[in-house]
Amino acid sequence: MSAQPEMPPRTAMEQRTAMEHGTAMRVHPELRPAFESLPQFSDPYEDIEATRAGFHAMLAAAPADRTGVDSERFEIPRADGSALTVEVYRPGGGAGSGGGEAAAAGQDARTAAHGAGGALPAVLHFHGGGYALGRSLAGQDRAAIALCRELPAVVITVEYRLAPEHRYPAGVEDCYLALEWAAERAGGLGIDPARIALAGKSAGGGLSAAVALMARDRGGPAIVHQSLYVPDLDDRVGADETADAGGANAEVADAEVADAEVADAEVADAEVALSARVSTGRSVQRSWKHYLPEGMVAADAYAAAARATDLSGLPPAYVLVCDLDPMRDAGLAYARRLMDAGVPVTVRNVPGAWHGFELFAPETRVAKEMTAHWTGQLRAALYPVVG
């Protein structure tokens, strides 16, 4: 038997071609054009103020359609004398609204059949953004507006304090304070106190899970549902990757992946291509590094809900994850632990999708079906079928 000739090192072009081929095997076919147009992934914490400014400029360039929705901002006093800002979105002309000629969008037979004296269910919506950004402009929270119309519901967005200026527990305590405030003022806000849900994406999903734990442990307001959308709820995600990198930066670590001797070179190439453009375990670790207090070795359960040892007695949950998201396995593990604790759980995985893909491919069938499923599950929880 003749020996196989030794393969020469691949050129940069050959490496790029192999990366693209390997990635194409993992990314959903409908999402490949969006993936290929993604910018190179950068560290948002290098200049967090510039990152926030850029995000707000992007939002301002395309104002949200507020048709059929009213909103009002409130200041909730904190114990230290400062104030937490929340914004309450409600269907136009709905209970507790300032009025307006717009029809109460989405207020169909569900409201009449299940309302409490005309009150609507409520969703406390916690935005994502790695616990450090993601706050919408006043009156412009697109997720809140959509939920307000489509459920329908009163949706309360919370401008919780952001890291790294305000590290844990500032943000989650703000979210819990907003829950208490909403429950105490349910009548004036047009809310049915028996139908309050928590919802959030990414960091917002982590905050939703943590607030559900806090409400259980503190004997707080009743929560009918927790909706965890690609939740960031485990500070251990990416820890192995960071340790393997030996403290090197993400770019160097990713380059080492391509040079490593692995059984399946195409898989390694796909990992390199993905990590250059989307969130990885190392980028998740950056977020936790800036969110947790300096010197904290391991998060507690209210920082990272996956650390909780007892998940019994929590409200029914919906857990949505994406195939190529480094937080997928932690989300699935949390869902399984909730099930094992006797909590009703619905799980959905989006094949071939990365964390936040819908922002770059909103018109794809994959994104629309994902959003419809998430919204539908939240609607079912807030408007249960009465036998």
CA distance 227 to 378: 7
CA distance 109 to 113: 6
Judge whether 105 and 91 are in contact, CB under 8 Å.
Answer: yes
Whether cis (ω within 30° of 0) applies to the bond prior to 169 is yes
Q: Which tokens go with 252?
A: 């160097």
C-alpha R_g of the chain = 22
Check if 325 is active-site: yes
Q: Which tokens go with 202?
A: 């990414």
Judge whether 63 and 140 are in contact, CB under 8 Å.
Answer: yes
Check if 37 is active-site: no
CA distance 248 to 250: 7
Check if 300 is active-site: no
Judge whether 51 and 44 are in contact, CB under 8 Å.
Answer: yes
Q: Which of 127, 225, 290, 355 is catalytic?
A: 355
Instruction: Output phi, psi for 170, to 5 deg.
Output: -55, -50
* Angle, helix 265-275 to helix 250-259, in steps of 10 degrees: 160
The DSSP code for 385 is P
The DSSP code for 39 is P
Cα torsion for 358, 359, 360, 365, to the nearest 10°?
30
Q: Could you tell me where the beta strands, DSSP code E, fall in 78-190?
A: 83-91, 120-126, 154-158
Which residue in this structure is represented by tokens 């919780």?
Answer: 160
Instruction: Output phi, psi for 158, to 5 deg.
Output: -120, 120
Q: Which of 71, 202, 275, 279 is catalytic?
A: 202
Order of strands across the sheet that contains 345-350: 69-77, 83-91, 154-158, 120-126, 191-201, 225-229, 317-322, 345-350
Instruction: Determine the number of helices (DSSP H) and then strands (DSSP E) in the chain.
Output: 14, 8
What is the set of active-site residues? 202, 325, 355
